[in-house]
Structure 1
Amino acid sequence: MGKIIVTGGAGFLGSWLIANLLKEQGNKSFPAFKEIVSVDLADCPVKDDRVKSVRGDIANPDFAEKIVTADTVAIYHMAAVLSGQSEAEFDTGMRVNVDGTRALLEAARKTGKKPFFIYTSSLAVFGGPMPDVVPEDLALMPQSSYGAEKAIGELLVCEYSRKGFVDGRVCRLPTIVVRPGKPNSAASSFASGIIREPLSGIKSNNPVPASTLMWLSSPDVVVKNLTHALTVGEQELGLKRVLNLPGLCVSVDEMLESLERVAGHETRMLVSEHPEQRIIDIVCSWPGNFDVSRPLSLGFIRDRDFDSIIRQYRDEFVTR
C-alpha cells in the first residue's frame, strides 16, 4: 500500500480533508493507502499515527521529488498563495501557484506510476461578461493574478493527464463559508467574516455591494466532495477533467438575512457596509451561479441551504 500526499495539509481545509481521508482507509472503492503525508510550512494538526508532516517548499523541484515517490497513490494539491496576496505580490503568487504545481506534476511524472492528482482550483478563473448561470465549458478570462495562476494550473493538470503522466481531476471550489479562525489573505475572506465575527459578538464589515452573488459551500461539504473526487472513474470523467463543485448561489444580502434568522437582529446589526474597492474589483469579477448538473450526476453533493451552513458553524464552533 502507498501514501496520499496533501499539500497545504497544515491549513484549516487541508487538515479537515486529511481527517476525512483517514476514514476511507480500507474502503474498497478508495485507493489503498497506509499513510497520509501533509506537506506545508507547518505541521498538520491532525494527531494520528498514519499522518506524517513534512515541511518544505513545493516550488523547489528537488523537494518535490523527495516527497512524491513511487509509492504515491494520490496527490491533493491544495497549497496556494491566496487571491489578495497573489494580487499584491505577483512574483510570490507565480512561484508558488504556478511553479509549485509544475514541480509536483513533474515529480509525479518521474515516478512512472500515474498517481491521482486532485487539484483545487477556483471560480476566480472566470471573469468578463458571463451568463447568469455559468456552464462548464465557458472560456476562462481571469481578472486577477490568482485566477490566472489557477487557470494555468488547470491546463497543466489536464495536459499531464492527457499524456498519461497523472490521473488528474480539477476541482473548482466554491467560496468556503464559514471558515473558523482568523481572516486570511483571500479577497473572499469577508464572506466568512460577516458570519463568524457577529456570531462571536464581534463587529465585521461587508466590503462589496449587498446584491453581489456568491457561490458558497460549507467546509464539510467541500471536504466530502474532494474525498469523493478520488472515487470517480476515469471513464466517467472522459476528456472533461475539470469540475465546478456544487455550491449555493446566495447574495450577500441573503447571507445577512440568514444570519438574522439564525442569530437575531442584534447579531445582524454587527455587520457594517463600507465599500472596499480592492475587494470589489476581485470578488465582483467572479460568477455567482453555475450549472453543476454533471458533478451532481457523478455523485457530488451540495448544502441544503445557507441557514443550515450557519447553524452547523454555530453549533460546532460557537455553542459549547
Structure 2
Amino acid sequence: MKLLITGGGGFVGARLARTLLARGQLAGRTIDRLVLTDITPPPADLLADTRVEARTGTLLSQAPALQGEDFDGVFHLASAVSGECELDFELGLRSNLDSTRALLDALRARTAAGGPVPRLVFSSSVAVFGPDPAFAWPGIVADDTLPAPQTSYGTHKLMCEYLIADYTRKGFLDGRSARLMTVTVRPGRPNGAASGFFSGIIREPLAGIVSACPVDAGVSHPMSSPSQTVDGLIRVYEATREQLGGRLALNLPALNVRVADMLDALEEVAGSQVRALVRFERDERIAGIVANWPSGATAARAARLGLAPCRQFADIIREYIADCRAAPNAAQALKGIQ
C-alpha cells in the first residue's frame, strides 16, 4: 500500500505518519510506502524509516509529477493557516485552493489512465462555520449546521470540501472531509494561525515563559488533543461510505472549553506560579476573528464511528507534558515545572 501525506513535515502530519508507521497497516492493508510532501523536510526519525520518502517544496509545484504515481490513499493536510490567509490573500488562494485543485486533478488524471481510485481524507476545519444574520447562530455547531465561514481560511476549507465531494461523485476518487477542531497543545514556535494562542497559553508557561492571551477568559472554543485528532483522521479514512452515512464532511469530536477552564486545568497540573505567567492582553484582530468562530461543537456522526472527545482539558495538558518528556528538548520545553 502506498500512501501520500501532504503537509507531512508539519506537527499533525508527522504525528500521523509516526502513528501509521507504528501500526504498519491501514484499512487492513500493509503500508509499504509513505510519501511525505511539505515545504520543509520531515523530522529525522521519519526520514530514518526505509518506508518513508520525503519530497520538499510547495504542493502546487509537486502536484504535476503525482500524475505518474499510483497512490492507494491520501491524507491532504497541507494548507496555509488562518492568520496567514487573512494577512496574505494571494498566499491563501495558492496554498489552499490552487494546491488542492492541482492535487485532485493529478489523482483524477491517474485514475483516468487506469490507476487505482485513491481514498482521500481532507483535513477541513471547524472554521467553515460562522454567524449568519439570516439565521440564529447556535454557537455550538453540529454536523448539520449550515456552514457560513467568516474568514478566508474557512472559506477555502469549505470550497475544498465541495470539490472533494464532487470529484467523489464523479468517481475520480473516494473522498471524505474531517472537520478538525483546534488542535492543542502544539509544540515548538507559534505559527500564523489565529488560534495559535490556545496552545501558547499552555506551552509557553510550561516552558517558564510569559504568554499573552489576546481574548477574554470567557471565550469558549472546541478543542482536540493531537492524538485524538490523528485517531480521528485514521478512523475517517477506514470508514466505509455506508458507515459515513451521508454527506462526506463531518465534525471530529471536540472538548468544548473556555479559556478560564484551560487556565484552571493548567494550574491543576502545573501549579499557580505557572498559571500566573499568562497575561491578558487583548488583540482586536485576533479577538475579532475568534468572535466569529463556534464556541463549541458536537460530532454525532464521528461518535457513530467510535470516536469521542477528551474528558477534561487537564488530560490534554498531561498528554503534551508526556510528549515533551519523550522528546530531546524536554528540559527547555518544561522549564517552568522543573
The one-letter code sitting in structure 2 at the alignment partner of 1:105 is: L
Superposed counterparts of 1:220-235, under 5 Å: 220-235=227-242
Which deviates more from structure 2 when the two are superposed, residues 217-226 or residues 309-318?
309-318
In structure 2, what is the Cα distance between the partners aligned to 1:18 and 1:188? Answer: 24
Aligned match of 1:161 in 154, 160, 168? 168
The one-letter code sitting in structure 1 at the alignment partner of 2:131 is: G
Superposed counterparts of 1:101-250, under 5 Å: 101-112=100-111, 113-129=116-132, 130-250=137-257
Aligned match of 2:290 in 271, 283, 298? 283
Q: Is the 8 A contact 2:129 2:141 kept in 1?
A: no
Q: Which residue of 2 aligns with 1:58?
A: 59
The alpha carbon displacement at 1:200 in A equals: 1.1
The alpha carbon displacement at 1:31 in A equals: 4.0
TM-score, length-scaled by structure 2: 0.90
Percent of aligned positions that are identical = 41
Superposed counterparts of 1:38-77, under 5 Å: 38-45=36-43, 46=46, 47-60=48-61, 63-77=62-76
In structure 1, what is the Cα distance between the partners aligned to 2:56 and 2:90? Answer: 21
Q: Is the 8 A contact 1:5 1:38 kept in 2?
A: yes
In structure 1, runs of 5+ residues without a counterpart are none
Evaluate the alpha carbon distance shift between residue 26 and residue 11 of structure 1 in structure 2; reply closer, same or farther with a 3 A threshold.
Answer: closer
In structure 2, what is the Cα distance between the partners aligned to 1:70 and 1:8? Answer: 18
The alpha carbon displacement at 1:57 in A equals: 2.4
The alpha carbon displacement at 1:247 in A equals: 1.2
In structure 2, runs of 5+ residues without a counterpart are 332-338
TM-score, length-scaled by structure 1: 0.95
Which deviates more from structure 2 when the two are superposed, residues 123-132 or residues 95-104?
123-132
In structure 2, what is the Cα distance between the partners aligned to 1:260 and 1:230? Answer: 37
The one-letter code sitting in structure 2 at the alignment partner of 1:268 is: R
Q: Is the 8 A contact 2:4 2:34 kept in 1?
A: yes
Instruction: Report SS of the residue matched to 2:72.
Output: strand
Instruction: Report SS of the residue matched to 1:230.
Output: helix
Report Cα offsets for 1:152-205 as digits up to 9, x if no partner: 111111111111111111011110110011100000000000000101111001
The one-letter code sitting in structure 2 at the alignment partner of 1:39 is: T
In structure 2, what is the Cα distance between the partners aligned to 1:124 and 1:230? Answer: 21
CA RMSD of aligned residues (A): 1.5
How many pairs are equivalent? 316
In structure 1, what is the Cα distance between the partners aligned to 2:202 and 2:290? Answer: 17
Q: Is the 8 A contact 1:24 1:30 kept in 2?
A: no
Report Cα offsets for 1:115-149 as digits up to 9, x if no partner: 01110011111111521431212221111111111
The one-letter code sitting in structure 2 at the alignment partner of 1:108 is: L
